[in-house]
Structure 1
Amino acid sequence: MMNSFSRNRSISVGINRLCSVKNELLNGYVEGDTCVVESHLPVSCGRPHFKRFYHKNNAFPRFSIAKCGFSSQAGAKSSGEEDDLEDGFSELETPLGSDAITDSNLDDEKANESASDADVSDVDGEEESPEDELEILTDKGKVRSSRTQSQLFQAITAARSVENALDKWVEDGKNLNKDEIWLATYNLRKRRLFGRALQLSEWLETRGKIDFVEKDYASRVDLIAKVRGLHKAESYIEKIPESLRGEIVYRTFLANCVSAGNVKKAEEIFNKMKDLEFPSTAFTCNQLLLLYKRLDKKKIADVLLLMEKENVKPTGFTYRLLIDSKGQSNDLDGMDQIVQAMKAEGVELDISTQAVLAKHYATGGQKKKAESILRDMEGGDLKEHRSACPLLLPVYAELGKVDEVRRVWEVCEHSPRAYECIAAIEAWGKLKRIEEAEAVFNSMVKRWKKLSATQFSALLRVYANNKMLTKGKDLVKQMADSGCKIGPLTWDIIVKLYVESGEVEKADSILHKATQQNLMRPMYSTFMAIMGQYSKRGDVHNAEKLFHRMKLSGYTARITQFQSLLQAYINARTSAYGMRDRMKADNLFPNKAVASLLAQVDPFKKTAVSELLD
């Protein structure tokens, strides 16, 4: 079922001067209960005031002109498509990487990859750190290169125990100033070694080696959330001295709530920041947009209305999120209108946003537009604009341009970076050029001593998408033999490899063992891939078991879970008792698609014969 955001022919972007572009851009349409809100901002072009539409039912109890807060209690309705997305999206306003313009669901999955799925060989130091955007690693605005060597970082990664490495460092009389600590922490984060970074932070505080400022506490909150979960991070916030428990701490926690896909907690923290009278910023609003783009697009209009009321100016990242949302809904005209508004506001159409546009034009059938943007991204000389290569590869592959993929890869292949290799493997896989994808993978094996799970997973995904079970099994064995640590992302691909090959029971067994043997929870999409197959079979027993296991793993119930479960009952031709009450208990309300399914499995539904008998 198409959601309200995807149905509208334009978007409620009316922030500041956007009304000077096209009045149509400022409109929104929601099917069903709607109301119109007139903007009373001055109109520079002299045109009539624009109108907005939003759900009455979606108006938040704390969303008012004065407070503009959010509550997860209202607006719980969401379409099946909206909810069929994974936890763990963590863009945090950073430039998109090599895989950022592939399927949006896949982006969410990759972002959820744990530290155990990463390795030192993963990182080339070319991408901006998300933590810089959170302002938890910046130091007086000084830009630092991640290529700079840190002896402390090397000592920490070489030692079995972080505590022992640090104690020895001090015993040897080595320097432990803020610069050295910053650089070690930066390098640990870049390599997703969050556990060690957390141990470093804890050691520094317990030993009293540095005086913690707000950014240090915010960094700790971020690391705890990543390593131990949101609950522990929130508990730690209460222990921070009140004078240092400021906006950076809370917005760091908000970003982690968004990354975890926890709508209720994200809205709760946003409301708390309003209660504490922190100003609304583009960063916090962008986090909500990021969350709702994934999980509840109907609420996007509410965030935009909030930004207008609070006079928060949209950033390039704001526009990129809106463009991507329109593109996902295949609303290319609406996407074009947002680009026009963006240009009118003087916001740069950077290479990452261009890549998003090109991807959606390619998938939407507007190939000439996509190719035009790709040429602009190349800048006339691809060697001088090599940073565009990992963004170009997947779009050329989407267009079916084998020669163009080969030309772009030739720019990189003599001295490739890890993320360029991954982009190339995915591009060749999309073109079903398995041998070329394997050749890129083999070049990585020769170039780096030890590959990370991310690099293995790129080829594994190619095998999964092409139902090459035997080759997939061999690659998994190679991963295990190399000592590569496997985390949720890899489990997800392995499970889907078996699911795509028709071995659903084997996929379920692998998922069950992975859950038992590891502390990290599997991804939402991993569970749903198996549950979807049980639903198709009408296997109510196993579908219910998967539903229960997802709850035990900590996932809040979503509409798509109930949708899949109801489909299992329908295919089994059996009634489902108490399903409405179960949904109500999880604070969920049926949308049109789910309401239709509920009617089909209602054990008390009226039929022509039953009405006669009554």
Structure 2
Amino acid sequence: MSALRRAANPSRLQITHHVIARAFCSKFGITNCSLSDTCEKSLQMGGHVSCGHSVIYFLGVRNLCLQSRTSNSNGEAADGFLDVDELPVCHKVDRLPDDVDDEEYADEQGISRDEAEVSKTEAANSSLGSSETEKDLYHSDEVRGKNHTTPLFKVIMEAPWQSVSSVLNKWVEGGNHLGRDEVMTALRSLRRRRLYGKALQFVEWLEINKRLNFVERDYACHLDLIAKVHGLQKAEKYIDRVPESFRSEVIYEALLANCVSTSNYKKAEEVFKKITDLALPISIFSCNQLLLLYKRFSRNKIADLLVMMEKENIKPSLFTYKLLIDTKARANDITGMEQIMEAMKTDGVEPDLVTQAMVANHYIVGGLNGKAEATLKEMEGEDVIENRKACKLLLPLYASLGKADEVERIWKWCESDPSLDECLAAIEAWGKLGRVEDAESVFESMLRTWKKLLSKHYNSLLNVYANHKLLSKGKELAKRMSDNGCRIGPSTWDALIKLYVKAGELEKADSILQKVAQQNQVRPLYSSYITLLDQYAKRGDIYNSEKIFHRLKQIEYSGRMQQYQLLLEAYVNAKAPAYGFRERMKADNMFPSKQILAQLAALDAFKKTHISELD
């Protein structure tokens, strides 16, 4: 498609690529983005190593003996809050009620919310199985709208983990139909619930018993599940088992996506190079995966990748532009962001509401309220009632601008018959405006309208309480969640930890996180640890900052610059030298950012002072 468009109008695409590439070249000091240089740089890639396998260089960290709270007979702790042991937590799930929606379950488990420094757009599209970047491994459009609780899906869900194959054998022997649509529907449902282990057993059973004529996307799906369950090394070895005629770019794209989702920088670039070495087509999906990687870890490589895309006639997608817009804005280059928006329109790609909302948010962060408001009016269109889907985005953005009258105006249109998403947006908006009672009113209205609310609905109000340091109200709401049988997952724990931290009870928040991490098989969110690390750093508490930093590495939340910056901040605030910190970063295959270099320069002054005292 991109080649045809270039042939029809080659100059337009070429101009678009050059505008984007020049924007990045100028920002990151790249003065000569020649095609020959770019190809060599892009195809001879090297750099960071997997965040989950870096060498741990840790100074004097020991486990803390945190005192557990005493509980009364009702399960309440001495402070009146329900004890962690008594709250229903999310363990590995064999079976779920039929009325639990897949996407809602995934949201309750904190899926796609692990990275506080990653935009919502990126987080929602960072792996196979997401919307815009998805290489659809199920290739059946009819499957998407079907009921997920099919007989086959129920059989797999109810099967014990160790007996999936035998249960499936009996099911087929009973004369039950096993067509491609049934298989893909079951697989999609298992993956959406993050039951990758059972999904893998199902796919292996299909392949071994030849119950399905495997094509390239079936092999790619199998590889993807192996990577998620057993890791990248075994997934890569599986490629040797794939018939050579089916080793297309789709297979390697599945591996590439898993490298990126696990932040394995070096392996991701190796896989991309493998695609080019095998002369397989380079798709926009592969390029977007590298953009995700470079956006997090190596923004100076983005310009090279864009020029390589131009040479290979790879047309940017809407998601490509979203990534580039967000990257420029996060580098405080609003002019560059606007240039990319113009290039996007020149290329005939219209920004969707999410893109416009992202741009408006960056304007607000940059203090350009006039431009932000103009963008919001553009999102509204001539009649917001006709453009109802924009309301859930507009409410919190107008609140960020401090426009209480605009929030009232839009909520008035929604209030008579709101959707759950609009209610959540309204709670967030009223919370931003400090109108806690209005947020509570929306929540109580939700309880009256819908029979049962999910954890994420309680979490929206819990976050409002946390932001306004309303500890007692937050505890009461958490107990209410438990009493109403809500599943307490990582997102709820994240909100509770923030609640305690903002109320000044940092040690209590730390003890909750440690206990939750020990008791649950679903790991806490990255942001939960960062909330604690940020507070310890502000205190100049090196010991506890190192402790949290070490925990992040233990559970493979590493390879992110933010945690290094916060750890260094602890040393700066303690006015203590961080001996060997550059070596630690080098051992972890991390390269200092400008902010970290500035922090290290400040710490060098402390080092000289300490040495001078010895003279």
TM-score by shorter chain over 0.5: yes
**Could you tell me which amino acid in structure 1 is paired with residue 46 of structure 2?**
S
Q: 1:299 to 1:447 in 2, by over 3 A?
A: farther
* Aligned pairs (5 A) from 1:326-365: 326-365=328-367
Return 464-473 or 593-602, whichever deviates more: 593-602
Tell me the equivalent position of 1:68: 43
Distance 1:104 1:568 in 2: 19
* Aligned pairs (5 A) from 1:185-584: 185-190=187-192, 194=196, 197-226=199-228, 230=232, 233-234=235-236, 236-584=238-586
Q: 1:483 to 1:111 in 2, by over 3 A?
A: farther
Q: Secondary structure at the match of 2:32?
A: strand
Shift of 1:134: 0.9
Return 316-325 or 566-575, whichever deviates more: 566-575
Partner deviation per Cα, 1:474-506 (whole Å, 9 max, x = no partner): 333333344443443333332222222221111
* Aligned pairs (5 A) from 1:79-158: 105=118, 107=120, 111=124, 130=131, 133-139=134-140, 142=141, 146=145, 148=147, 151-152=150-151, 155-156=154-155
Shift of 1:319: 1.6
Q: Secondary structure at the match of 1:130?
A: coil
**Could you tell me which amino acid in structure 1 is paired with residue 487 of structure 2?**
K
- CA RMSD in angstroms comes to 4.0
Return 22-31 or 528-537, whichever deviates more: 22-31
Partner deviation per Cα, 1:320-350 (whole Å, 9 max, x = no partner): 2212222333433222221221222222233
Shift of 1:136: 0.8
Q: 1:268 to 1:394 in 2, by over 3 A?
A: farther
Q: Quick check: 1:386–1:411 contact (8 Å CA) kept in 2?
A: no
Q: Secondary structure at the match of 1:333?
A: helix
Return 274-283 or 363-372, whichever deviates more: 363-372
Q: Quick check: 1:155–1:165 contact (8 Å CA) kept in 2?
A: no
**Could you tell me which amino acid in structure 2 is paired with residue 381 of structure 1?**
D
Distance 2:159 2:561 in 1: 44
Distance 2:363 2:116 in 1: 13
**Could you tell me which amino acid in structure 2 is paired with residue 70 of structure 1?**
M
Shift of 1:509: 1.3
Tell me the equivalent position of 2:27: 29
Q: Quick check: 1:21–1:340 contact (8 Å CA) kept in 2?
A: no
**Could you tell me which amino acid in structure 1 is paired with residue 139 of structure 2?**
T
Partner deviation per Cα, 1:535-576 (whole Å, 9 max, x = no partner): 222222222222222222123344443333333233334343
- Structure number with higher relative contact order (C-alpha < 8 Å, ≥ 6 residues apart): 2
Q: Quick check: 1:131–1:137 contact (8 Å CA) kept in 2?
A: no
Q: 1:66 to 1:129 in 2, by over 3 A?
A: closer
Structure 1 unaligned blocks of 5 or more: 1-13, 41-58, 77-98, 115-127
Report sequence identity in percent.
50
Partner deviation per Cα, 1:257-302 (whole Å, 9 max, x = no partner): 3333333332232223223322222111112222322333222222
Shift of 1:314: 1.4
Q: 1:526 to 1:609 in 2, by over 3 A?
A: closer
Distance 1:167 1:433 in 2: 58
Q: Quick check: 1:204–1:210 contact (8 Å CA) kept in 2?
A: yes
Shift of 1:198: 4.3
Shift of 1:364: 3.1
Q: Secondary structure at the match of 2:14?
A: coil
15, 31, 38: which one pairs with 1:17? 15
Tell me the equivalent position of 1:120: none
Q: Secondary structure at the match of 1:28?
A: helix
Q: 1:502 to 1:240 in 2, by over 3 A?
A: farther
Q: 1:18 to 1:542 in 2, by over 3 A?
A: same
* TM-score, length basis structure 2: 0.75
Shift of 1:243: 3.6
Partner deviation per Cα, 1:444-479 (whole Å, 9 max, x = no partner): 444444433333322222222222222222333333
Return 597-606 or 266-275, whichever deviates more: 597-606
Q: Secondary structure at the match of 1:346?
A: coil
Shift of 1:373: 3.0
* TM-score, length basis structure 1: 0.75
Q: Whose helix proportion is higher, 1 or 2?
A: 2
Q: Quick check: 1:358–1:369 contact (8 Å CA) kept in 2?
A: yes
Q: Quick check: 1:358–1:373 contact (8 Å CA) kept in 2?
A: yes
Q: Quick check: 1:132–1:138 contact (8 Å CA) kept in 2?
A: no
Shift of 1:202: 4.2
Shift of 1:144: 5.3
Tell me the equivalent position of 1:80: none
Q: 1:386 to 1:474 in 2, by over 3 A?
A: same
Distance 1:111 1:443 in 2: 29
Shift of 1:360: 2.3
Q: Quick check: 1:153–1:185 contact (8 Å CA) kept in 2?
A: no
**Could you tell me which amino acid in structure 1 is paired with residue 336 of structure 2?**
G
Structure 2 unaligned blocks of 5 or more: 1-11, 52-111
